[in-house]
Amino acid sequence: ALPAGALAGFAVGIAAAARLRDHRVRAEADAPPAADLPRAPANGPIRDALGFGWVGLVVIAALLLGLGAVVAVALRGWWPLAAGLPVVVVLTGMMRFDVEADETGVRVRNLGMTSVDIGIEEITGAQVVHVTPFKDYGGWGLRLRRPGSYGIVTRTGPATRIDTASGLTLAITTDKAEELAGALNAWADLRRGVA
């Protein structure tokens, strides 16, 4: 009964997470990004995988499940594996993010679901900033700095900070920070008819 309950709870959790929707207030920017913000040629989508690669995630998952197996043997029951599996899935899922930006906006996905979706019409500007995970956001992953200020923080270094007309701010740490900021500003210009 315990394994069936754990699996049923896990399945219900995944189904519920897939139905989550973004209920934030979206506002359209009334002006193009400031002229002093970076611009880059907007030649197609920009994609980046942040955090651990798939091999790293498999290694971490194997280590965590191995630890669960040791605990299961020590307790003479396999329930720690059933209880630990959802934890392993969530922990490893929060260690990898896929970012895609194009002329429609920027989307961040993890665990196969969209975590953040900002339309190009919302963007008031994008710039490169330096992020230190613990100092700026209190850790790694999808982080809340303060209400309305979020970060996809996977390392120390350059990040693209995206500001929106509704006041939402999103920082994404990436090696492509300059390219991403420049392209988002260029796409926002094109959306508003600025050459």
User: How do residues 133-172 score in pLDDT, each as one tens digit?
Assistant: 999 999 888 888 888 899 999 999 999 999 999 999 999 9
Q: What percentage of residues in the chain have a pLDDT greater than 70?
A: 96
> What is the per-residue pLDDT for 150?
94
> What is the per-residue pLDDT for 115?
86
- Mean pLDDT of the residues in the chain: 88
CA dist 148 and 141 (Å) reads 16
Comparing 95 with 134, the larger pLDDT belongs to: 134
CA dist 62 and 50 (Å) reads 20
Statement: residue 20 has pLDDT above 80: no
Backbone angles phi, psi at 190, to 5 degrees: -60, -40
> What is the per-residue pLDDT for 1?
64
CA dist 92 and 29 (Å) reads 36
Q: What is the mean pLDDT of residues 1-25?
A: 75
> What is the per-residue pLDDT for 89?
78
Whole-model pTM: value is: 0.79
User: For the ranges 18-22, 40-44, 94-98, 158-162, which has the lowest average pLDDT?
Assistant: 18-22
- Under the banding of pLDDT at 50, 70 and 90, the label for residue 86 is confident
> What is the per-residue pLDDT for 195?
62
Q: What's at 27, amino acid-wise?
A: A
CA dist 133 and 114 (Å) reads 22
